Every structure is written in structure tokens, then in C-alpha cells.
Amino acid sequence: MEYKSNYTEEEIRELYKWFDEHKYENSIDIGHGLIINNVNMMVEGSRTVAFTKHENPTYSGQLHLLFQIKDAMIEQGKVK
């Protein structure tokens, strides 16, 4: 998903539904020198922010990162 300054609650629900319904590796290199070594902690740690602050542009980068993680998991075949 392309970066947006605001995400809808529906987009966030769909994103978390994907993480809840799939098994995936717990480490991912999403490029540009960014490696996430504990995806589970990142996803769970962002859940509250995602649902309470999704309309605040200040948090859009954090939410976009979750979409990038999901896309990278799919592209790299790290979804089981």
C-alpha cells in the first residue's frame, strides 16, 4: 500500500485481520537497511496506536510500516 497521511479504521482492521489469520516468519528485511527482528512484537505493540490514532497524521508512518511489513512478507514468501 502506498503511504497515506491518514488510514481508515477499515484499512487497519483488514491489516490486523491479515496478521491474525496468517503465520509468518518473525524477521523481515523490508529494504533500505531496515530489518525487523521481532515482527510479532512490532505488530502487537502498534495495535493500540493503530486503532486509536489512525486518523492522526503523526502516526501514519508507523502504520505505513506495518503495511510494508505485510507486503514484504508476501513478496519474499515469508508467509507460511
With respect to residue 3, please indicate whether it lies within any of the assigned structural domains.
Answer: no
With respect to residue 28, please indicate whether it lies within any of the assigned structural domains.
Answer: yes
Return the pLDDT at 41: 95
Counted domains in the chain: 1
Expressed as residue numbers, the domain containing 60 is 9-75
Q: Is 62 helix (H, G, I), strand (E, B) or coil?
A: helix
With respect to residue 24, please indicate whether it lies within any of the assigned structural domains.
Answer: yes
With respect to residue 1, please indicate whether it lies within any of the assigned structural domains.
Answer: no
- 1 pLDDT more than 90: no
- Nearest residue to 16 (alpha-carbon basis) of 27, 25, 8: 8
Percent of residues, the chain, with pLDDT higher than 70: 100
With respect to residue 16, please indicate whether it lies within any of the assigned structural domains.
Answer: yes
With respect to residue 53, please indicate whether it lies within any of the assigned structural domains.
Answer: yes
Contact 65, 15 (CB under 8 A): no
Mean pLDDT rounded to a whole number for the chain: 93
